[in-house]
Chain A
Amino acid sequence: MSENRVSRRQFLNYTLLGVGGFMAAGMVMPMARFAIDPVLKANAGGDFIATKLKVADITTEPQRIDFKFDQKDGWYESEVTGTAWVYKTEDGEIVALSPVCKHLGCTVDWNADEKNQNMFFCPCHYGLYEKDGTNVPGTPPLAPLDVYPYEEKDGILYLGKAQPKGA
């Protein structure tokens, strides 16, 4: 038999301590969680989504890219395809524009109208935007195209949520 046998009193003490500890933790943990809740909140909307486009492949000519992400709309979760027009400016800066026309939400196309070369064109009401997304006065849209914030990770382009220009 070993020297330090656990006495009945010791055994009960340990058991009580263990159970008490669990109960205390059970009470304190949620409280601590509530206290630091804002830190734990998942960052909804601010996430950057990976596109299939390599940063090195971006040219000065706008190209259309599609990327997929999950969208939660109340209880309905669906996979949504987002689209962006991506190009590099003369200075090498990447620009990612939303294709959604600021007029009534049609999808704009690059260089689609013969009369207006090198412009974004909306087929619905013939809205026009310059290459940098600025709306052409005299056409229906009243604001420039939204801009996607972007990130570069491992040579791949990541896009955030489109924001109004200048915001």
Chain B
Amino acid sequence: MKWVPTDIGVFEKTPEYVDTAVIPLLPVSFKEGMKDSAAMTEFTTLLTSQLERQLQGRILLIPGLSYLKESRSESLEQLKRWETELLDKQFKHVFAVTSDFDWKQDEGHLKGTLLWLPTLPLQQMDEKTKQSVMEDQVRQLMNLFIQKWREDE
């Protein structure tokens, strides 16, 4: 489910079925890594929206958390607050999805699961390759989710 009124309407009626929240972490930088951060943001956004399409009945896609790459520590605090809030509500699983490797070092501080996926050079691919590569990525990510759900049963 997406963060739009129609989906949230469905969510309010059947909250017991939606037990997983996904937070995309989207870096923004105006220093030398500007283009890289844009690529990471694009990739993460694409990936999570495709994932939402596949598993929309069980996951709620939170609007992306965008942060300045230089002051990521502030965003870490924010992410922690979000996780606490979500886990306090009915969510059993909270996944943070990102392409920014810096988050990896803070994985231990997080209550939820951090999924790091390296960016792919989507710009250099033609439409068809892009599509099949993305599909593969989404499938792998999906399996991670399904595995995690299975573990908890």
- Which residues of chain B from 29 to 88 have any CB-CB distance to chain A below 8 Å in the complex? 53-58
How far is it, in angstroms, between the C-alpha of A107 and the C-alpha of B17 when the chains are bound?
15
Chain B residue numbers with a CB within 8 Å of A140 are 17
How far is it, in angstroms, between the C-alpha of A123 and the C-alpha of B58 when the chains are bound?
9
Q: Which of A105, A107, A122, A140 has the most CB of B within 10 A?
A: A105
- Which residues of chain A from 102 to 121 have any CB-CB distance to chain B below 8 Å in the complex? 103-107
Cβ of B123 within 8 Å of any chain A Cβ, yes or no, is no
Chain B residue numbers with a CB within 8 Å of A123 are 55, 142, 146, 149
Asked whether A125 lies within 8 Å of B17 as measured between CB atoms, the reply is yes
Cβ of A65 within 8 Å of any chain B Cβ, yes or no, is no
B12 to chain A, nearest CB (A): 13
User: Which A residues fall within an 8 A CB radius of B?
Assistant: 101, 103-107, 122-125, 140
Mark contacts of B4-39 with chain A using CB atoms, 8 A cut-off: 1 yes-contact digit, 0 otherwise.
000000100010011000000000000000000000
How far is it, in angstroms, between the C-alpha of A140 and the C-alpha of B58 when the chains are bound?
12
How far is it, in angstroms, between the C-alpha of A24 and the C-alpha of B149 when the chains are bound?
72
Q: Which of B18, B53, B146 is A107 in contact with, Cβ under 8 Å?
A: B53
Chain A residue numbers with a CB within 8 Å of B146 are 123
- A106/B56 contact (C-beta < 8 A), A123-B142, A123-B146 known: yes
How far is it, in angstroms, between the C-alpha of A123 and the C-alpha of B56 when the chains are bound?
11
Task: Report how many A-B pairs have Cβ atoms within 8 Å.
Answer: 33
Asked whether B56 lies within 8 Å of A105 as measured between CB atoms, the reply is yes
Q: Which of B53, B57, B142, B149 is A103 in contact with, Cβ under 8 Å?
A: B57
How far is it, in angstroms, between the C-alpha of A130 and the C-alpha of B56 when the chains are bound?
22
- Which residues of chain B from 114 to 145 have any CB-CB distance to chain A below 8 Å in the complex? 142
Chain B residue numbers with a CB within 8 Å of A104 are 10, 14, 17-18, 56-58
B150 to chain A, nearest CB (A): 10
How far is it, in angstroms, between the C-alpha of A93 and the C-alpha of B104 when the chains are bound?
52
Closest 3 CB pairs of A and B: A104-B57, A124-B58, A106-B57
Chain A residue numbers with a CB within 8 Å of B54 are 106-107
Identify the closest chain A residue to B50 (Cβ).
A81
Identify the closest chain A residue to B20 (Cβ).
A124
Chain A residue numbers with a CB within 8 Å of B53 are 107
Known: A107-B53, A125-B17; 17 extra A-B contacts, CB below 8 A, are: A101-B57, A103-B17, A103-B57, A104-B14, A104-B57, A104-B58, A105-B57, A106-B57, A106-B58, A122-B57, A123-B55, A123-B146, A123-B149, A124-B55, A124-B57, A125-B58, A140-B17
Q: Which of B10, B14, B17, B58 has the most CB of A within 10 A?
A: B58
A121 to chain B, nearest CB (A): 11
